[in-house]
């Protein structure tokens, strides 16, 4: 059942939140030994929450728009008193003393959190193979990756653990796993959703967003989590219009642009490119006009990202020093303690990125690397702005290929990074983008098509997504 239908049934008293929960916990129990989407199943806490929802319904109260709907939470979202590990040994067993704003909001809306899901360590990766606790497997084919870094959340929704999940997206970490697992995944406009309680990777790029099996469910969840938060100074101050009421307004008259540099890039497989062309035709039949558009600087997005994101990460991850929380490996003095702790606590990809970032920011190299990458970021924003003068939404692949096999790219970091060439430019620009499942490719594996919109262009983006979904 969809979240919309479930919430409706619970709110009316037709189903109990507790029964709904037990059904979903049974699915998790049946499949997670194989899939490993969950770092932790929070069944005790979930039962208490479900009982409170049922009690509210019994008193004639409305528990909220997500009444009784199970939801999975990426394990980089702080949940007070419940372990939050970022799938890293350096935070293994650590329980935050506070809860992320998005989690507070979904709880206040009546949702029932069932699990903390697996991710690439500190959200760095595109396959969930960088988790310190073992990879997650793709529910559509367990010999393959679910994508990353929010692979656990994508797999949880695809496998039926919960109709909804929250993930985070810094370079594609919601959209790419959504595409590989055959579900809907949204990266909202930067600043639309509070980052308070999201353990930071790259502060100017990170955004929290929804996973769901339908566009309407994704809109339902986004409406709950979006909106200004005084606890996040990078949160957009203006009020946000809800998406659920406008979803079915259609795409009549929409100007849709297929981004050439992304769709025609080296490495985009034929089945994926073909899905984008079919999506364009579908939107045309629904009343849109479609053309190709060049956004030239997006070709440099990956390069700029692999200077900016590691630079910001090197700063954000400096706090893991064995002093206040997490792992500590002792030393004769504090410097030795820091070094030993970080060597033992961080995995290879995290170490790579911290070193890259430190280098990109170091004296003598700052301007050539980080400084230049920031200027390229401006060029990307300008090129998108020019495109959006002529188009309402843009189209591209989400992932260059369908899900690849576990181990296929783990020995070649650059090959892994190339998974994100289509998703990265949106994070650099701070714009909105989402992946919508659109057919199957090689081996019957799911393909996701990416819809891009300018900052605060969620309405147009969701309307286009609905049009694509309705045609399947």
18, 149, 235, 399: the active-site residue: 149
Q: Which stretch binds another protein (CB under 8 A): 7-15, 160-168, 219-227, 371-379?
A: 371-379
Pairing relation of β-strands 446-453 and 432-440?
antiparallel
334 lies in the binding site for another protein (CB under 8 A): yes
How open is the CA angle 454-455-457, to the nearest 5 degrees? 65
φ/ψ (deg, to 5) at 318 = -65, -20
Of residues 119 and 327, the one with the C-beta less far from another protein:
327
191 lies in the binding site for another protein (CB under 8 A): yes
Contact 130, 97 (CB under 8 A): no
Map tokens 């360590």 to a residue.
121
Nearest CA to 159 among 9, 28, 332?
Answer: 28
326 lies in the binding site for another protein (CB under 8 A): yes
Least distance (Å) between residue 102 CB and another protein: 18
53-84 burial by CB neighbour count: b if 16+ within 10 A, else e?
Answer: bbebbeeeeebbbbbbbbbbbbbbbbbeebbb
Nearest CA to 222 among 181, 146, 167, 294?
Answer: 167
359 lies in the binding site for another protein (CB under 8 A): yes
472 lies in the binding site for another protein (CB under 8 A): no
Q: Is 18 a catalytic residue?
A: no
How many angstroms from the chain centroid is the CA of residue 230?
A: 23
Of residues 133 and 359, the one with the C-beta less far from another protein:
359
233 lies in the binding site for another protein (CB under 8 A): yes
Q: Which stretch binds another protein (CB under 8 A): 29-37, 165-173, 331-339, 461-469?
A: 331-339
375 lies in the binding site for another protein (CB under 8 A): yes
371 lies in the binding site for another protein (CB under 8 A): yes
Q: Under rule CB under 8 A, which residues in 408-427 are in contact with another protein?
A: 413-414, 417
Q: Is 294 exposed, middle or buried (0-12, 13-18, 19+ CB in 10 A)?
A: middle
Of residues 71 and 186, the one with the C-beta less far from another protein:
186
Of residues 32 and 321, the one with the C-beta less far from another protein:
321
Pairing relation of β-strands 207-212 and 393-397?
unpaired
CB-CB neighbours of 239 under 10 Å: 8
Least distance (Å) between residue 326 CB and another protein: 7
CB-CB neighbours of 470 under 10 Å: 12
366 lies in the binding site for another protein (CB under 8 A): no
**252 DSSP assignment:** T
CA 193/CA 188 separation, integer angstroms: 7
16, 74, 297, 396: the active-site residue: 74
Binds another protein by CB under 8 A, chosen from 31, 144, 273, 377: 377
Least distance (Å) between residue 273 CB and another protein: 23
Of residues 60 and 97, the one with the C-beta less far from another protein:
97
Binds another protein by CB under 8 A, chosen from 122, 196, 306, 462: 306
Contact 166, 132 (CB under 8 A): no
Q: How many residues in the shown chain lie near another protein by CB under 8 A? A: 61
Binds another protein by CB under 8 A, chosen from 34, 61, 274, 343: 343
336 lies in the binding site for another protein (CB under 8 A): yes
Pairing relation of β-strands 289-293 and 207-212?
unpaired
Q: Is 402 exposed, middle or buried (0-12, 13-18, 19+ CB in 10 A)?
A: buried
Q: Which stretch binds another protein (CB under 8 A): 10-18, 57-65, 332-340, 399-407?
A: 332-340
Q: Is 74 a catalytic residue?
A: yes
Q: Is 149 a catalytic residue?
A: yes
CA 355/CA 336 separation, integer angstroms: 18
Of residues 12 and 375, the one with the C-beta less far from another protein:
375
Q: Under rule CB under 8 A, which residues in 384-413 are in contact with another protein?
A: 413
CA 447/CA 67 separation, integer angstroms: 31
Structure tokens at 133: 């606790």
CB-CB neighbours of 29 under 10 Å: 12
Of residues 294 and 374, the one with the C-beta less far from another protein:
374
Residue ranges binding another protein (CB under 8 A) = 94-95, 97-98, 190-191, 204, 230, 233-234, 236-237, 297, 300, 302-304, 306-307, 322-328, 330-337, 343, 348, 351-352, 355-356, 359-360, 368-369, 371-379, 381, 413-414, 417, 428-430, 455
| Active site residue ranges | 74, 149, 173
């Amino acid at each position: 059942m969809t979240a919309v239908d479930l919430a409706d049934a619970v709110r009316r008293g037709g189903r109990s939140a507790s029964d709904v929960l037990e059904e979903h916990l049974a699915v998790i129990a049946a499949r997670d030994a194989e899939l490993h989407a969950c770092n932790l199943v929070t069944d005790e806490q979930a039962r208490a929450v479900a009982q409170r929802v049922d009690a509210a319904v019994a008193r004639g109260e409305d528990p909220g728009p997500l009444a009784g709907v199970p939801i999975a939470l990426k394990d980089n979202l702080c949940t007070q008193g419940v372990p939050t590990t970022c799938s890293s040994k350096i935070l293994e067993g650590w329980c935050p003393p506070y809860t992320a704003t998005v989690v507070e909001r979904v709880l206040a809306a009546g949702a029932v959190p069932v699990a903390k899901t697996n991710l690439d360590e500190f959200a760095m990766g595109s396959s969930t193979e960088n988790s310190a606790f073992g990879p997650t497997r793709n529910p559509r084919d367990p010999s393959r990756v679910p994508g990353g870094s929010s692979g656990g959340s994508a797999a949880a929704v695809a496998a039926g653990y919960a109709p909804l999940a929250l993930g985070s997206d810094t370079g594609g970490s919601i959209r790419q796993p959504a595409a590989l697992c055959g579900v809907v995944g949204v990266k909202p406009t930067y600043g639309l959703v509070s980052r308070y309680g999201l353990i930071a990777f790259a502060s100017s790029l990170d955004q929290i967003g929804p996973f769901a099996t339908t566009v309407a469910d994704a809109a339902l969840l986004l409406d709950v989590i979006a909106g200004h938060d005084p606890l996040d100074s990078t949160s957009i101050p203006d009020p946000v219009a809800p998406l659920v009421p406008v979803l079915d307004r259609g795409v009549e008259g929409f100007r849709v642009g297929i981004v050439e540099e992304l769709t025609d890039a080296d490495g985009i497989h034929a089945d994926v490119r073909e899905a984008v062309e079919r999506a364009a035709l579908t939107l045309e039949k629904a009343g849109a006009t479609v053309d190709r558009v060049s956004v030239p600087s997006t070709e440099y997005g990956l390069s700029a990202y692999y200077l900016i994101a590691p630079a910001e990460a090197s700063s954000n991850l400096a706090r893991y020093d064995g002093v206040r929380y997490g792992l500590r490996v002792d030393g004769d003095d504090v410097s030795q303690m820091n070094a030993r702790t970080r060597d033992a606590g961080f995995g290879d990809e995290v170490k790579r990125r911290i070193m890259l970032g430190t280098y990109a920011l170091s004296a003598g190299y700052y301007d050539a690397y980080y400084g230049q990458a920031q200027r390229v970021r401006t060029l990307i924003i300008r090129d998108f702005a020019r495109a959006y003068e002529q188009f309402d939404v843009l189209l591209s692949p989400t992932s260059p290929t369908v899900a690849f096999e576990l181990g296929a790219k783990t020995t070649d970091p650059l090959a892994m990074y190339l998974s994100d060439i289509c998703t990265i430019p949106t994070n650099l620009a701070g714009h909105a983008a989402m992946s919508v499942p659109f057919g199957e490719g090689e081996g019957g594996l799911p393909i996701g098509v990416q819809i891009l919109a300018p900052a605060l262009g969620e309405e147009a983006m969701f309307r286009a997504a609905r049009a694509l979904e309705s045609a399947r």
